[in-house]
């Protein structure tokens, strides 16, 4: 999820170097960074957001859904150092993804979330899991016919898999989402 250099590992203090790092990796101003930091430290005095806290926070945005699967994958993606918690840098960079001006950058991050095997491709099984997680998150209960996650995954794969290898590369995913607003709305609703 971006540059890991400049991150503080244990301190909850917001230093000028820390602010410069966050300004370079988000679209937030210094004052916005300070405001977010104050809220983050108020909620997480130790400077760490646990998986449970993250899930609770994220679900506030999707009150009608059941986002456990989605939150698990999102948490793992945003926990860039793999230590089992999200620090302020990871939190703010993750929070800034939907506000990035560049659609390609946002789609890049979303692809990385979907690529659960970290092999640079999304296969039909991974796509089906993500569509199911997205349905859970937004409270979609109608999963029959055209809305069946497996069927949707097959259709999306058929549409976006240009080279026919039965997996989506990052380039195929981004190009397909940019070209097809219906697919983008399903796979990347915040873009």
- Kindly report which listed range (65-69, 91-95, 163-167) carries the lowest average pLDDT score: 65-69
Phi, psi of 101 (to 5 degrees): -70, -30
For 145-162, what is each residue's pLDDT tens digit? 988 999 999 999 999 999
CA distances from 34 to 14, 50, 134 (A): 8, 21, 32
Beta-bridge partners for 169: 121
CA distance linking residue 113 with residue 117, whole number of Å:
10
Between 54 and 168, where is the model more confident? 168
User: 16-99: what fold?
Assistant: Recoverin; domain 1 (1.10.238)
Domain ranges of the chain: 16-99, 103-187
User: 103-187: what fold?
Assistant: Recoverin; domain 1 (1.10.238)
| Reported confidence tier of residue 7, pLDDT bands at 50, 70, 90 | very low
In this prediction, residue 65 carries a pLDDT of: 58
**Mean pLDDT throughout 104-122?**
83
Exposure of 75 in the CB half-sphere (CA atoms within 13 A): 22
The pTM for the full model equals 0.62
pLDDT at 109 over 90: no
Domains 16-99 and 103-187 share a fold: yes
Residue 65 sits at the vertex; the CA angle it makes with 63 and 142, to the nearest 5 degrees, is 140
pLDDT at 47 over 80: yes
Alpha-carbon torsion angle 185, 186, 189, 191, nearest 10: -50
């Amino acid at each position: 999820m971006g540059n890991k250099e400049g991150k503080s590992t244990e301190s909850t203090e917001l230093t000028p170097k820390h602010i410069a790092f966050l300004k370079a990796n988000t679209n937030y101003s210094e004052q916005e960074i300070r405001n977010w930091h104050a809220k983050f430290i108020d909620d997480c005095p130790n400077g760490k957001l646990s998986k449970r806290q993250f899930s609770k926070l994220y679900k506030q945005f999707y009150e009608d859904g059941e986002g456990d699967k989605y939150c698990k994958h999102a948490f793992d993606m945003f926990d860039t150092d793999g230590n089992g918690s999200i620090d302020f840098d990871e939190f703010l960079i993750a929070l800034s993804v939907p506000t990035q001006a560049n659609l390609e950058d946002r789609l890049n991050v979303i692809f990385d979330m979907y690529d659960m095997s970290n092999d640079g491709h999304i296969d039909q099984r991974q796509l089906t899991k993500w569509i199911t997680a997205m349905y859970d998150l937004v409270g979609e209960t109608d999963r029959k016919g055209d809305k069946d996650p497996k069927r949707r995954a097959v259709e999306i794969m058929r549409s976006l898999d240009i080279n026919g290898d039965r997996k989506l590369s990052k380039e195929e995913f981004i190009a397909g989402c940019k070209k097809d607003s219906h697919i983008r709305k399903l796979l990347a609703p915040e873009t």
